[in-house]
A and B are shown apart, each in its own frame.
Chain A
Amino acid sequence: MNASPSPALHWNRALTPLPAWELALVVALLAVFAINSALSPYFLNVETLSDATFQFAEKGIIALPLALLIVSGEIDISVAGIIALASVAMGLAAQAGCATPIILGAGLLTGAVAGALNGFLVTMCGVSSIVATIGTMSLFRGGAYAILGDRAIKHYPESFAFFGQGYVVGLISCELLVFIAMALICALVLHFTIIGRRIYAIGANPVTARFSGIHTGAHRFALFVAVGMASAVAAILLTSRLGSTRPSIAQGWELEIVSMVILGGVAVDGGRGSIAGVVLAVLLMGFLTVGFGLLNIPGIVMSIFVGLLLIAVVAVPRLLSVLRSRL
């Protein structure tokens, strides 16, 4: 995320993923599948697999647009805070007796406004995105706590349950469908449109991009709003799945979601990354969680592996290139 290339701080180059990063992820994913099915005879069956999608769909829905934002050289740590705030907004709407469409609207609007605040701070006030979103993260989650305190909202209309619990066709859940749609949209935008080209350009070198006539500020602002709205979509699905809102909802998700994006081969400094990589990373983390569940290992222990994986993703290519240069 540093504008000027500096010989002393070459994180950018160190982050170049392996030549076929996506291939490595595919291999890892297949390995996880193989281990999981060896662990349990019930793993490789459509119903288990369909259930497993609930492990990653909500986080993946945020990770995808967040990948676009990170490619553009910014980051958003406040996503889980936005989930909490959007969920509270929907809860209040439900409490007031609103119909389901209005509840959804309240959530999406909250997400858009929260994302716009992040975008405003970063593009117009000149605050670096990591600091700005650390601030708004406590602001959003704090807002959820301030409104709800230790209460929970549980009274949602029956039709609201569909989004997090319902199935569209057969065993394709609504959550999975939204995730697939999000993946297609993000892949289309990043890889096949001029906007995607510009996002890469902004992440690779914002000054050059600005000189080339790209409205860097407008693009980044729009991406912050998109991430905010994606967080609201995840909030809808999660709230609907749990059937309740608490201020501690999705606590700590931001680190997991950022990990997914980085694991997907997106450079934290911006300028590089692909949606295929992110989708694979989301699937990998999701099915890893399922595997740990089969082994009855608590989530906190799994976080050790996620941490190791996160560091290895960046460190191993670097280590290999050092070894290669010594040969």
Chain B
Amino acid sequence: MKRYSLHSPPRETGLALLTAAMLAGMILAYPHMASLRTLTALLDDTAILILLACGQMTVLLTRGVDLSVAANVALTGMVLALINHHWPERGVLPVLLAAPVLGALLGAINGVLVWRLRVPPIVATLGTLAIYRGLVFVLSEGAWINSNQMSADFLDLPRASWLGFTVLSWLALGGATCMGLWLHYSERGRNIRAAGDNPDAALYAGIDVGRSQFHAFVVSGALAGLCGYLWVARFGVAYTDVAQGFELQVIAACVIGGVSINGGVGTVAGALLGCLFLGVLNNALPLLGLSPFWQMAVSGLALTIAVVFNARAQSSGKRSFIQSPARGSAQ
């Protein structure tokens, strides 16, 4: 299923080289890009994608998929914007604490549906996607909460700079590091990977597979909740269509980063690179003179090519003669 052989380098190296080459090409062609500011801006642009991809990867590891992340971002963001609008004097700290908690609750709903009611993840999160998105509209009554309705400290926190990086970037780097350590070294993290790699073996090893999936959805929800605050504060607006369709970009970043949709395979480093790859790509398009309308087509093309390579990498050498090549699938 996975296991890099000792002789071939892990695919993260290839992706890192490709991303670096793109960045180098961009800088060579446009030398004025070669500033620390460009690079920190790039990280700032991809920070939310990175945090969401870490959560999505955790769910993908358990053979699930979380389509509701972007709706979670929108709903949490709207709730927090409303809280800030009505009680600006409470400051930003309660908001910062409430964001992951609220997001985790929304994620826990997905988790319970999948764990306790055995709803397939794709159906459960497709349903909650519609529900959460609808609730944003109900809560806001279709209105926009603009930056002039939010307090200054609420808006400024993600943009505050510290040691050359914004708080937003630090959160992304810190979040990715924590997720990497958690997945690799903690018992729960290891269970998550084991549950997705081989659910039967995990069951016999005493791992509660459903519970691991629940944990993954809660983590994904918590990160999405945090991103809900970050998104609204960064762009200074909360409305029903915030982050519309962003879930697919998050999944794309994971898949490009070598995370398998069949579970058990994927690293935070890979997901991070997938995000940076998309970030560099999106930044390179305007330089090439392509209109922003090309962005979707190009990232779709990148994703399609990436999944073909992933499928090749994961199936090489172990495909039996009878198994039709395409049977690996979402669940």
Contacts and interface: CB of A to CB of B under 8 A. Distances in A.
Nearest to A315: B117
A128 B122 CA distance: 14
A207 interface: yes
A33 B117 CA distance: 30
A258 B126 contact: yes
Contact of B200 (A8, A269, A301): A8
B130 A310 contact: yes
B330 A315 contact: no
Contact of A135 (B199, B252, B326): B252
Interface stretch (A10-18, A271-279, A283-291): A10-18
Given A130-B261, A142-B297, A318 B331 contact: no
Contact of A136 (B120, B122, B304): B304
Contacts of A146: 291, 293-294, 296-297
**Interface SS of B by simple majority:** helix
Interface stretch (B43-51, B132-140, B229-237): B132-140
Nearest to B135: A304
B35 interface: no
A217 B325 contact: yes
Nearest to B134: A304
A295 interface: no
A204 interface: no
A8 B326 contact: no
A126 B325 contact: yes
A111 B63 CA distance: 31
Interface in B166-214: 195, 199-200, 202-203, 209-210
A92 interface: no
Contacts of A138: 248, 252, 296-297, 299-300, 303
Interface stretch (A19-27, A43-51, A116-124): A116-124
Contacts of A136: 300, 304
Q: On chain A, which size bracket covers the interface? A: 35 or more
Given A124-B325, A300-B133, A301-B134, A311 B127 contact: yes
A130 B252 contact: no
B131 interface: yes
B308 A121 contact: yes
A174 to B, nearest CB: 30
Interface string B124-162: 101111110111011000100000000000000000000
Contacts of B281: none
A3 B138 contact: no
Interface string A218-242: 0010000000000000000000000
Nearest to B304: A135
Interface in A276-327: 298, 300-304, 306-308, 310-311, 314-315, 318-319
A266 B215 CA distance: 28
Nearest to B247: A134
A166 to B, nearest CB: 33
A262 B123 CA distance: 8
A130 B299 contact: no
A124 B307 CA distance: 13
B298 interface: yes
A141 B244 CA distance: 14
A73 B329 contact: yes
Interface in B228-266: 240, 245, 248, 251-252, 255, 261-262
Contact of B65 (A121, A130, A210): A130
Contacts of A74: 329
Interface residues of B, number: 67
A1 B329 contact: yes
A6 interface: yes
B308 A125 contact: yes
Given A122-B326, A125-B308, A307-B128, A142 B295 contact: yes
A150 B134 CA distance: 27
A36 interface: no
Contacts of B323: 3, 207, 210
Nearest to A309: B127
Interface string B307-331: 1101110010001001111111111
A255 interface: yes
A14 B120 CA distance: 9
A132 to B, nearest CB: 6
A216 interface: yes
Nearest to A301: B134
Q: Interface centre among B262, B304, B319, B331, by most A CB within 10 Å?
A: B304
Nearest to A10: B118
Interface of B: 63, 65, 113, 117-120, 122-124, 126-131, 133-135, 137-138, 142, 195, 199-200, 202-203, 209-210, 240, 245, 248, 251-252, 255, 261-262, 291, 293-301, 303-304, 306-308, 310-312, 315, 319, 322-331
5 contacts: A9-B331, A126-B315, A131-B330, A139-B304, A207-B327
Given A303-B131, A311-B123, 14 more contacts: A1-B330, A6-B200, A127-B308, A128-B326, A130-B261, A138-B297, A139-B301, A139-B303, A140-B300, A206-B324, A304-B135, A307-B131, A311-B119, A318-B119
